[in-house]
Amino acid sequence: MKKLLVFALAVLAMVGRVRADEGMWLPMFVERLNYVDMQKMGLQLTPEELYSINHNSLKDAIVGLGSEAKPRGFFCTGEIVSEKGLLFTNHHCGYSAIQKLSSVEHDYLKDGFWAKDYSEELPAPEMTASFLIRMEDVTKDVLGVVTDDMDWDARNKAINGKIKELETAASEEGKYNPVIKGFFEGNEYYMFVYQVYTDVRLVGVANSSIGKFGGDTDNWMWPRHTGDFSIFRVYADKDGNPADYSKDNVPLVPKHHLPISLDGVKQDDFTMIWGFPGSTERYMSSYGIDYNVDTFYPIIIDIFGKELEVMDEFMQKDDAINLMYADNHAGLANTWKNFIGQCTMLRKNKVSEAKVTLENRFKQWVGESAARKAEYGDVLPNLKKSYEDLSDVAKYIFYPNFVAQAGPSGLATAFMGYYMAAQSKDKEMEAAALMELQGMDVDGMFAETNPQVEHKMYAEMLKTYKNAFKAEELPEIYTVIDKKFKGDIDAFADYVYDKSIFATPESIKAFIAKPSVKKMEKDYAFQVSQQMTGVLRQHGLDYRNTMNDIRKNDHLFVKGLREYYAATQPEKSLYPDANSTMRMSYGSVKDYMPADAVHYDYVCTANGIIEKYVPGDYEFDAPKRLIELIEKKDFGPYADENGDLIVCFLSTNDITGGNSGSPIMNGKGELIGLAFDGNWEAMSGDVNFEPRLQRTINVDARYVLFIIDKYAGATNLINELDIRKSEPQPIREVEETEN
Task: Check: CB of residue 91 under 8 Å from CB of residue 327.
Answer: no
Give the angle 33-254-277 at the CA atoms, nearest 5°. Answer: 45
The candidate with the shortest Cα–Cα distance to 50, out of 65, 33, 73, 64, is 33
C-alpha 718/C-alpha 701 separation (Å) is 12
Task: Check: CB of residue 652 under 8 Å from CB of residue 646.
Answer: no
C-alpha 594/C-alpha 592 separation (Å) is 6
Give the angle 128-132-136 at the CA atoms, nearest 5°. Answer: 140
The candidate with the shortest Cα–Cα distance to 536, out of 524, 525, 544, is 544
Cα 510 off chain centre by: 41
* Three-state secondary-structure class, residue 394: coil
Question: Cα separations (Å) of 728 from 42, 142, 263, 491, 731?
Answer: 19, 54, 10, 72, 9
Residues 6+ apart with CB under 8 A from 702: 262, 264, 638, 639, 640, 645, 646
Task: Check: CB of residue 650 under 8 Å from CB of residue 604.
Answer: no
Task: Check: CB of residue 31 under 8 Å from CB of residue 584.
Answer: no
**Which residue of the set 57, 82, 91, 92 is catalytic?**
92
C-alpha 693/C-alpha 20 separation (Å) is 10
CB-side exposure of 282: number of CA atoms within 13 Å?
23
Task: Check: CB of residue 64 under 8 Å from CB of residue 71.
Answer: yes
> Across the chain, how many H-helices and E-strands are there?
30, 24
Give the angle 336-92-456 at the CA atoms, nearest 5°. Answer: 45
Active site residue 660: yes
Cα of first residue to Cα of last residue in the chain, in angstroms, is 9
C-alpha 138/C-alpha 375 separation (Å) is 25
Task: Check: CB of residue 367 under 8 Å from CB of residue 373.
Answer: yes
**Which residue of the set 82, 588, 660, 684 is catalytic?**
660
- In the chain, the amino acid numbered 429 is M
Query: What length does the chain have?
Result: 739
Residues 6+ apart with CB under 8 A from 426: none
The candidate with the shortest Cα–Cα distance to 636, out of 714, 723, 710, 713, is 710
Active site residue 92: yes
C-alpha 135/C-alpha 141 separation (Å) is 15
**Which residue of the set 228, 327, 549, 554 is catalytic?**
228
Pairing of strands 583-588, 270-275: antiparallel
C-alpha 218/C-alpha 598 separation (Å) is 18
Give the angle 649-267-639 at the CA atoms, nearest 5°. Answer: 55
The candidate with the shortest Cα–Cα distance to 420, out of 396, 398, 436, is 436
Q: Which residues are catalytic?
A: 92, 228, 660
